[in-house]
Amino acid sequence: MKDFGIGLLYLEGLPPEYFDDFRDSIDFDAIDFREEQRENEPYAALEWMIPTVVALYVGKKFADALLKKATDDIADTVYPKLKNGVAELAKKLLVTDRTRFGVVSSGEKKVTNAASTIFSVTAQTTGRHRAKFVFHDDSLSELEYEIAVDQIFATLEAHYREADNDILSDTSPEYLRGGSVYLIFDKQSQAWDLVNPIAERLKQQAAHNQKNAEQ
């Protein structure tokens, strides 16, 4: 998908009507919306770097039209309705229907029922890289998912307003991997934090191993 406002990419096999409620949140006259299905194929890559079952993409057209809030109509109706639609989609995927999305292929390994493989939001930054918001914490409540989504858009707004002086502009080698920076939601601070995906994965694996050893 190129040159779009909002893009929806989802795994083959999911019926298109599954996303009817989300489509209802989009003003097609104001937002250039694209939608595609992808094949279910293995990826030899770190879990966070593979496409999620459902992925939402925020393109530069969206930034220009909505994040800069060019008109009162966009600011007052189109933008809030879209944010609510994304929050409802996140809750549907990660709470209501989570058990439906059991296994995602990543190379020769199977990642079982991991929240980080189900849904993500990836945005084009003002630079040449992307920012991927990873829903890795499966203990979030529905209210916390609403806050998390709201904070995604707050983070994007700050980025497009401030440019080069915000969290998404950090392209240091510690965080930039494969042309993307990765963020996870901290429910204590209710904010998205930049993380090194490799270091974070190793930390999670160590915690998992320790938990198994204690059982």
Q: Does an H or E element contain 33, and which? A: strand 33-38
**pLDDT tens digits for 153-167?**
999 988 888 767 789
pLDDT of residue 7: 96
Could you report the per-residue pLDDT of 92-122, keeping only the tens digit for each? Answer: 999 999 888 755 544 444 444 477 889 999 9
pLDDT on residue 42: 63
For the chain, the average pLDDT equals 84
Q: Which residues of the chain have pLDDT under 50?
A: 105-113
Nearest CA to 31 out of 2, 55, 56, 7 is that of: 7
> How much is the pTM?
0.85
Tell me how far apart the alpha carbons of residues 157 and 151 are, in angstroms, rounded to a whole number.
10
Structure tokens at 76: 């007052």
Whole-number pLDDT of residue 120: 95
- The pLDDT value given to residue 79: 86
**Taking a C-beta distance cutoff of 8 angstroms, is the pair 175, 167 a contact?**
no
